[in-house]
Amino acid sequence: MSELICPKCGRSSDEIEFIEAFCVDCYPAKVKCPRKLEIEQCRKCGKIRIRGEWIPFSRERISEYVVSKCRGEFDGAEYLTDMGVVRFAIQGKKHVERYVEVELKGTMCTYCSRISGGYFEGIIQLRGNPKRIEKYANMLADKLEKRTFITKAEDKHGGLDIFVGSSKAVVELISELRLKADITRKLVGVKHGKKLYRTTFLIRL
């Protein structure tokens, strides 16, 4: 390869590595980042909202998101949360850093605001033997917490009522567990043009 001279600093390709017509130091990195990004974070559970979706707090996902907002020619990039900089790898020979301020804006996620608003779609009514009710209530609560949320549980004469965020989650769970339930659905209102139902699942134990 013939010798190259950097048009900016005058050094030769015999003394320093080159990227295209420039030495690595002078090669103009063409990267652009926003100066500031806001990410919503739930005050109650700490989840963050990335592209409209609430997810558990994760530095990797924040990094991915910040990088996705940067433009330019680079091989790879990573957002270093502690330093608040995006570190770009340029043509495998050089790193450049750009400062991006990420502000976590305190708010309330969909789930937490529903819980605090007392929202529920389904009521599981457990009736029958108190020992079996207790056993099933714990088991159902464990499994339901993984798919939706439990608004509250109330002792009722002869059993227990569990108020649950998602009826669909209850339907899936009782069919998985092969439980027999009497299901009744009641129209409780209309929100944003969508009919809202409340479903009661009566399970005799």
Write out the residues near Zn ion by the rule CB under 5 A: 6, 8-9, 23, 26, 42, 44-45, 109, 112
Q: CB of 120: closest distance to Zn ion in angstroms?
A: 16
Nearer to Zn ion, 44 or 198 (CB): 44
Nearer to Zn ion, 15 or 176 (CB): 15
Q: CB of 20: closest distance to Zn ion in angstroms?
A: 12
Strands 71-72, 31-32: pairing kind = antiparallel
Strands 94-99, 31-32: pairing kind = unpaired
The answer to whether 162 and 171 are in contact (CB under 8 A) is: no
Q: CB of 143: closest distance to Zn ion in angstroms?
A: 20
Nearer to Zn ion, 22 or 205 (CB): 22
Nearer to Zn ion, 94 or 143 (CB): 94
End-to-end alpha carbon distance in the chain: 83
Nearer to Zn ion, 92 or 189 (CB): 92
Q: CB of 163: closest distance to Zn ion in angstroms?
A: 18
Phi, psi angle pair for 12, to nearest 5°: -105, 155
- Give the DSSP per-residue string, 11-74: -BTTTS-EETTEETTT----EE--SEEEEEEETTT--EEETTEEE---HHHHHHHHHHT-EES-
The answer to whether 183 and 201 are in contact (CB under 8 A) is: yes
Q: CB of 8: closest distance to Zn ion in angstroms?
A: 5
